[in-house]
Structure 1
Amino acid sequence: MSFNTIIYEQDGGIGIVTLNRPRSMNALNNELIRELGAVLDEIAGDGTISAVIIRGHEKVFAAGADISELSRIQTPAQAHQFVTRVHLLFDRIENLPKPVIAAVSGLALGGGCELSMACDIRIAAENAVFGQPEIKIGVIPGGGGTQRLPRLVGLGRAKELLFTGDPVDAQEAWRIGLVSRVVPTASLGDEARKMATGFTARPALALQMIKMAVNTGINMDLRSALSHEARCFEWLFSTLDQKEGMRAFMEKRRPEFKGI
């Protein structure tokens, strides 16, 4: 499958998606949204892919939604159509049954920041900048920024970032919990691959269950979430990987997981 706005590569069991609209600073337009959705469908159905990396270029991850397209929206109904497409895409990333790493270098603003927050883990290059500047053009984040940001950094800090629209650098993003780690810009690709390669060595169904338990449980009360976790734990005892993992531990050898 060929794409105009993204590049898709496979490196072993890793699917690498590169946002590729350099002249538009990787702004999220309708074509890029469609193509990201299509490649996620491909990845979801590919049993050889165990982890995913989404990245941009050195100076920009994604600088937000494409304002040239947004400026043509004239009615709330048209705005609803656009934001629904974005929500469906970001929900697709959030619920993809494989770990998704955002490797962020340069600007991750507006929809670009929201895209990174839909991923499971964010690794930031030292030159990364995160922000939700929508208030400065008279709107609010529409791709989950008002909801995912507070869940990641806390209510008060999120409100400050949303109310001011001011960006934060990589170190501040790490300090407040928006990213998992900060690495030298030149090392970002290697660090993201190293993490993803570690995931490919883990039992795929157990990874899927962890992701589902966390994503679902965070929206439940604690008692319901613990019950959900227990059901996920119990189900894994029907898998061959569980039996192989425990057998390998007892035999003091490295397990050979098959994803079944």
Structure 2
Amino acid sequence: MSVMADIVTLERPREGVALITMSNPDINNHGSWAGVGQLGEALAEAREQGARVSVLASDTPGHWYEHAWLRDLRNTVIGEPTTGTGGGWGTCLDELAKTTVVTIAAISGDCSGGGAELGWACDLRIAEENARFGQPEVQIALTTGIGGTSRLARIIGRTATAEMVLDGTPMTAQRIYDLGGVNRVVPDGTSIEVALDWASRLADRPAKALATLKQILIDNDDLGLTEALTNEQRLFGTVVGTEEAIATMGSIQDRFDAGESIESVYGSPRP
């Protein structure tokens, strides 16, 4: 286990999987510049050491990642001392966009502001039943800054996003799930276990196919349908002729020819 100073830890539960945990209970996991800087460093270290799936978790009861610690944010504006540079926010977003690593947010408690925005930037999100999601910036006389409006509107739609950012009060995990903002809602205390199980499955998927599919998803956010389809076809062409794809197509077809069902080959639906 690697320890990033005293706020973030990096563990490797199995080959290809990283578990990155933030614990800053003194400020309820608000995003201090020091803590977010360590989070960015952990994401980069996990990727550089071969993680193909990273799970972002919290060890602070009742809180996942909360909004920027206002002491740091205010002091940055007025020129007073802070716990760091604030550049960790950008590092985190850059790392979450890397196509070679799939990221899963294991949301075990409340998340808000910039913390929620980091969650929206993850590829997959699992939320515990007690978790609440908020973009309270308007109540702080601020706006969202790293995706809490623009990215969120692409995930849950403009109408629900308008409610969240203009009113500034939180939504429950169940409502966010109903809006398409999280993949699963799970019992309290189980998000990390569920996320690690999912991460283990994904880490066994063919690496180039997984990375290319993430690239297609990222590109789709910025392209019209015609351009997105052309891009998807182009990227398909970069993987279909690889040795891994050719070998895998052959082995799977052999299983079908031997009488196996689609469910047997590809797995049962996830609950």
Which sections of structure 1, spanning at least 5 residues, go unmatched?
Answer: 256-260
* Contact 1:103–1:188 (Cα < 8 Å) also in 2: yes
* Contact 1:132–1:165 (Cα < 8 Å) also in 2: yes
* Bigger Cα displacement from structure 2, 156-165 vs 140-149: 140-149
* Contact 1:91–1:118 (Cα < 8 Å) also in 2: no
Superposed, 1:31-70 pairs within 5 Å as 31-47=34-50, 49-57=51-59, 58-70=61-73
Provide the rounded CA distance (Å) in 2 between the counterparts of 1:96 and 1:61. Answer: 24
> TM-score, structure 2 length as denominator?
0.86
Q: SS of the counterpart of 2:68?
A: coil
Which sections of structure 2, spanning at least 5 residues, go unmatched?
Answer: 257-263, 266-271
What's 1:10 paired with?
Answer: 12
2:137 corresponds to 1:150? no
Runs of 4+ in 1 over 6 A off after TM superposition: 81-84
Change (3 A) 1:41 1:230: same
Number of matched residues? Answer: 251
Q: How far off is 1:240 after superposition? A: 2.3
Change (3 A) 1:83 1:160: farther
Cα RMSD (Å) of the superposition? 2.2
* Residue of 206, 209, 213 corresponding to 1:206: 209
What's 2:221 paired with?
Answer: 218
What's 2:121 paired with?
Answer: 118
* Contact 1:21–1:27 (Cα < 8 Å) also in 2: yes
Q: SS of the counterpart of 1:100?
A: strand
* Contact 2:37–2:87 (Cα < 8 Å) also in 1: no
Identity of aligned residues (%): 29
Q: How far off is 1:28 after superposition? A: 1.2
What's 2:162 paired with?
Answer: 159
Please list the CA deviations of residues 138-191 of structure 1 after superposition, one character each: whole Å capped at 9, or x if unmatched.
001112112111011101110111000010111111111111110001222221
Provide the rounded CA distance (Å) in 2 between the counterparts of 1:84 and 1:17. Answer: 19
2:104 corresponds to 1:101? yes
Provide the rounded CA distance (Å) in 2 between the counterparts of 1:181 and 1:195. Answer: 11
2:172 corresponds to 1:169? yes
Superposed, 1:180-195 pairs within 5 Å as 180-195=183-198
* Residue of 118, 128, 132 corresponding to 2:131: 128
Q: SS of the counterpart of 1:63?
A: coil
Provide the rounded CA distance (Å) in 2 between the counterparts of 1:220 and 1:88. Answer: 24
Provide the rounded CA distance (Å) in 1 between the counterparts of 2:195 and 2:36. Answer: 23
Q: How far off is 1:85 after superposition? A: 4.9
Q: How far off is 1:84 after superposition? A: 6.3
User: 2:226 is aligned with what amino acid?
Assistant: R
> TM-score, structure 1 length as denominator?
0.89
Q: SS of the counterpart of 1:71?
A: helix
User: 1:56 is aligned with what amino acid?
Assistant: S
Change (3 A) 1:150 1:82: farther
User: 2:54 is aligned with what amino acid?
Assistant: V
Please list the CA deviations of residues 215-254 of structure 1 after superposition, one character each: whole Å capped at 9, or x if unmatched.
0122111111111111111110242221221121122199
